[in-house]
Amino acid sequence: MSALLEVRDLQVHFQVGREGAMPWSPARTLKAVSGVSFSLAAGETLGIVGESGCGKSSLARALIGLNPISSGSVKFEGRELAGLANRDWRSLRSDIQMIFQDPLSSLSPRLTIGQIIAEPLRALRPETPEETVKSEVARVMERVGLLPNVINRYPHEFSGGQCQRVGIARALIVKPKLILCDEPVSALDVSIQAQVINLLMDLQQEDGLALLFIAHDLAVVKHIARRVMVMYLGRTVEEADAQTLFAHPAHPYTQALLSAVPIPDPGKERNKTLQILEGDLPSPISPPSGCAFRTRCPKADASCAASAPTLTALAGEHRAACFRIAE
């Protein structure tokens, strides 16, 4: 299966000023993403999970050109995106769209629902006749479950789930090949989350969309993703197909995340072993030496501070970055 999106050794770094604001102090660098690699085929869903601050959103924004790429390669259909000028991104906007985390704040309060959904089509394909724009808006509204009579309403008149449907419709109207979903259901109630997830899966099956699905809720990712990549402090610590990752997590960080997922069986939930991570996520401005997870890892020893582990193949597509996997 050929890759629609291919990312190799991606680095996203930001200059955040000098320590102590002294003019002679060295400039500091925030390493949001440090050497991430993966590929995504047409019609496939890759889930990216991790705690807040691990670099998931910075990664997604770099892929769509909203964050600068410090180094590495990002290829979409074989075309290199790293270093692409803003004017050159215009031809790619129809193929790569994004659904944002907060459904209400991502919509303009000054525009009606119809205007919001039509905006990408008018901006990216200004030659489209007005009658075609109206018919396309009606088409995508129907596909995402929005009634025609809400077209002239404003975002504040809708629930979070309805606003997210508007965001999905806005992304779909230009018929993209890839949609980056940046925690699209984290602000929604559980019942609404299921509706939005099922909607995305149905649309993917109908259109052959590729989805990059970012979330911190592993239960949601298990439902939608075929493959899952776990990130910690800007790095990939484990990657596998969803079934393997949930059944046989190899990295201590993945094991801790999975232990926090609720089990819908009171008996099993009551008797399960909860692995609590001590401490907070380290600062990406001054990450620990060696393995970035060692300051919170129950298996870490002195050797983990000497060098950073690389992703090691375990079986099939399963890879993990840890010196203590054998234990």
Residues 132 and 32 in one domain: no
Residues 218 and 89 in one domain: yes
Q: Is residue 327 part of a domain?
A: no
What is the pLDDT at residue 88?
A: 86
Q: Is residue 283 part of a domain?
A: yes
Q: Is residue 197 part of a domain?
A: no
Q: Is residue 53 part of a domain?
A: yes
Q: What is the number of structural domains in the chain? A: 2
Residues 185 and 162 in one domain: no
Contact between 58 and 66 under an 8 Å Cβ cutoff? The reply is no
Residues 73 and 135 in one domain: no
Q: Is residue 270 part of a domain?
A: yes
Residues 301 and 184 in one domain: yes
What is the pLDDT at residue 170?
A: 94
Task: Decide: helix, strand or coil at residue 146.
Answer: coil
Residues 145 and 235 in one domain: no
Among all chains, which residue has been given the structure tokens 């059944």? 247
Residue 280: which residues within 8 A CB-CB, separation 6 or more?
A: none
Q: Is residue 325 part of a domain?
A: no
Model pTM score: 0.90
Q: Is residue 198 part of a domain?
A: no
Residue 160: which residues within 8 A CB-CB, separation 6 or more?
A: 103, 104, 187, 188, 189, 192
Phi/psi of residue 85, nearest 5 degrees: -70, 155
Residues 247 and 315 in one domain: yes
CATH of the domain at 239: 3.40.50.300
What is the pLDDT at residue 77?
A: 94
Residues 66 and 123 in one domain: no
- How many other CB atoms are there within 10 angstroms of residue 254's CB atom? 25
Residues 248 and 272 in one domain: yes
- The whole domain housing 154 covers 102-175
Residues 72 and 117 in one domain: no
Contact between 90 and 78 under an 8 Å Cβ cutoff? The reply is no
Q: Is residue 265 part of a domain?
A: yes
Three-class HEC string of 19-70 = HHHCCCCCEEEEEEEEEEEEEEECCCEEEEECCCCCCHHHHHHHHCCCCCCC
Residues 91 and 128 in one domain: no
Residue by residue, pLDDT tens for the chain (327 residues) are 579 999 999 999 998 876 665 666 677 889 999 999 999 999 999 999 998 889 999 999 999 999 999 999 999 999 999 888 888 898 899 999 999 888 888 899 999 999 999 999 999 999 999 999 999 999 999 999 999 999 999 999 998 889 999 999 999 999 999 999 998 888 788 888 888 899 999 999 999 999 999 988 888 898 899 999 999 999 999 999 999 999 999 999 999 998 887 777 677 777 777 777 887 888 899 889 999 999 999 888 888 999 999 999 998 889 999 988 866
Residues 73 and 184 in one domain: yes
